[in-house]
Amino acid sequence: MARVYNFSAGPSMLPEEVLKTAAAEMMEFGESGQSVMEMSHRSKEYQAIFDEAEANLREIMNIPENYEVLFLQGGASTQFAMIPLNLMTKNGKADYIITGQWANKAYKEAARYGAAREVASSKDKTFSYIPKTTAADFDPEADYVHICMNNTIYGTKYNTLPETGDVPLIADISSCILSEPIDVSKFGMLYAGAQKNVAPAGVTIVIIRKDLIGNAMDITPTMLNYSTHSENGSMFNTPPCYAIYIAGLTFKWIKKMGGLEAMKALNEKKAKILYDFLDNSKLFKGTVVPEDRSLMNVPFITGNEELDAKFVAESKKAGFYNLKGHRSVGGMRASIYNAMPIEGVEKLVEFMKKFEEENA
């Protein structure tokens, strides 16, 4: 069977080249006599895979020396608790901007451990925009400000970062990591589950400024303390070895593609094809204000639920998978992460044009 164009929000498509390399190395990695899945994480073969992955991530994201890179488990959702447990510890306060479900989950989890404050929200318009903030909106005594950089469900993205003064900014970049360059030095911490743009589910990448590590609350479980993982090179216990190996292959693929500037150019080109079509269509329309549109997740509607359902069903038959919108918002959503080839977007738009003609 031919591979379909998979527009899933996550887990999502991986680069074909990554899958082919993984397939070729499945039975034996190099001259090791074993699959990466079977290797001891304490072996020198595996340590080399791990070190190369970290080095390549540091290179492509241009991560400064004073930041630690951790490969953890538990998904981005575990970070919702780890962040307050480790960082809401100076003044016991943190500011959150609510731009959707993930941001809200992070906020609610933090509220269990201290004084989490909702600074701004775009809930009034179904999270279809990024709320504007100024430096004065933030509590200078907050231990950090948390944002969700790209809102996977609603299709919005921060194109300008909030001005938080000296308060460290923390961003959930689960659905936009590696999609374009990011100035790591502007953040106290970045984190991302891997299953949107990096690897299969199972590994969570944390990039944290070193001076922020080491102040966890006493109640913090050992496994949820950044110090534990930082002091043990992310190998306090067994890391998600295979997912880290695939992440390493993705990092190499991105390097070969020309790095994050090249990914950005490609992603902008892909997104433009879809947004231009939506802006000119008589049937379909995008749901996000133009200035806050995501490059990765593109929600759209016809305005008629029956027609939406028909479109989802027919698109699946035509080989375009997972275009149904998130269960909480309905409509459609095309997730066009790094691994979605430009032909996938071009062919989707052709299909949408045809659907529009047939259902006018």
Ligand X SMILES: *Cc1c(COP(=O)(O)O)cnc(C)c1O
| Residues recognised as catalytic | 102, 172, 196
Q: Which amino acid is at 190?
A: L
Closest CB 78 distance from ligand X, rounded Å: 7
Name the nearest CA neighbour of 290 among 172, 155, 150, 152: 155
Given 5, 29, 71, 102, the residue binding ligand X (CB under 6 A): 102
Site stretch for ligand X (CB under 6 A), options 37-45, 73-81, 269-277, 301-309: 73-81
- Phi/psi region, residue 29 (left: phi>0; alpha: psi -120 to 50; beta: rest), is beta
Closest CB 100 distance from ligand X, rounded Å: 8
Given 6, 99, 175, 287, the residue binding ligand X (CB under 6 A): 175
Q: Is 12 one of the binding residues for ligand X (CB under 6 A)? A: no
Given 21, 35, 73, 77, the residue binding ligand X (CB under 6 A): 77
CA distance 307 to 304: 5
CA distance 338 to 116: 34
Of the pair 56, 104, the CB lying nearest ligand X is at 104
Q: Are 97 and 137 in contact (CB under 8 A)?
A: no
Q: Which amino acid is at 241?
A: C
Which whole-number Å values give the CA distances from 158 to 131, 188, 304, in the listed order? 9, 17, 29
Q: Is 75 one of the binding residues for ligand X (CB under 6 A)? A: yes
- What own/partner pairs with CB < 8 Å and gap ≥ 24 does 231-234 have? 233/50, 234/50, 234/70, 234/71, 234/72
Given 104, 152, 250, 302, the residue binding ligand X (CB under 6 A): 152
CA distance 295 to 149: 12
Name the nearest CA neighbour of 260 among 196, 191, 185, 179: 179
Closest CB 173 distance from ligand X, rounded Å: 8
Q: Is 250 one of the binding residues for ligand X (CB under 6 A)? A: no
- Token couple for 279: 């802006």
Q: Is 230 one of the binding residues for ligand X (CB under 6 A)? A: no
Q: Is 341 one of the binding residues for ligand X (CB under 6 A)? A: no
Given 148, 182, 334, 339, the residue binding ligand X (CB under 6 A): 148
Residue with tokens 């500011």: 95
Site stretch for ligand X (CB under 6 A), options 124-132, 172-180, 236-244, 302-310: 172-180
Site stretch for ligand X (CB under 6 A), options 74-82, 86-94, 220-228, 277-285: 74-82
Given 36, 39, 70, 76, the residue binding ligand X (CB under 6 A): 76
User: Where does this chain bind ligand X (CB under 6 A)?
Assistant: 10, 75-77, 102, 148, 152, 172, 174-175, 193, 196
